[in-house]
Amino acid sequence: MVTRALGVSFADDSFTVQLSDGRSLTVPLNDFPKLATATPAQRQRFRIGPSGLGLHWPALDEDISVAALIRGVGDLTSKSRR
């Protein structure tokens, strides 16, 4: 069974994704610099993909995979490649 996002909520320094398997996953905003520097209003303008496998913030050009969140993978765009 594939775990999907059902909802997202925000605190001052983190966001929580409600998952289809009953878990909630809380992630520090600092793991995603675009979200960390966004305004609260910008953070609220997100979409859960039709499959529930991804989160998208159109105005921020930010896409986050649910599978990556579950694995503990943060933003990869600013990390050096090896």
Q: Which residue has the tokens 């986050």?
A: 64
Per-residue pLDDT of 5-14, as tens digits, reads 999 999 999 9
- DSSP annotation of 51 reads T
The pTM assigned to this predicted structure is 0.85
* Domains observed in the chain: 5-71 (3.30.2020.40)
Per-residue pLDDT of 29-67, as tens digits, reads 999 999 999 999 999 999 999 999 999 999 999 999 999
Q: Using alpha carbons only, what angle is made at residue 25 by residues 12 and 79, rounded to the nearest 5 degrees?
A: 75
Tally of CB atoms within 10 A around 25? 16
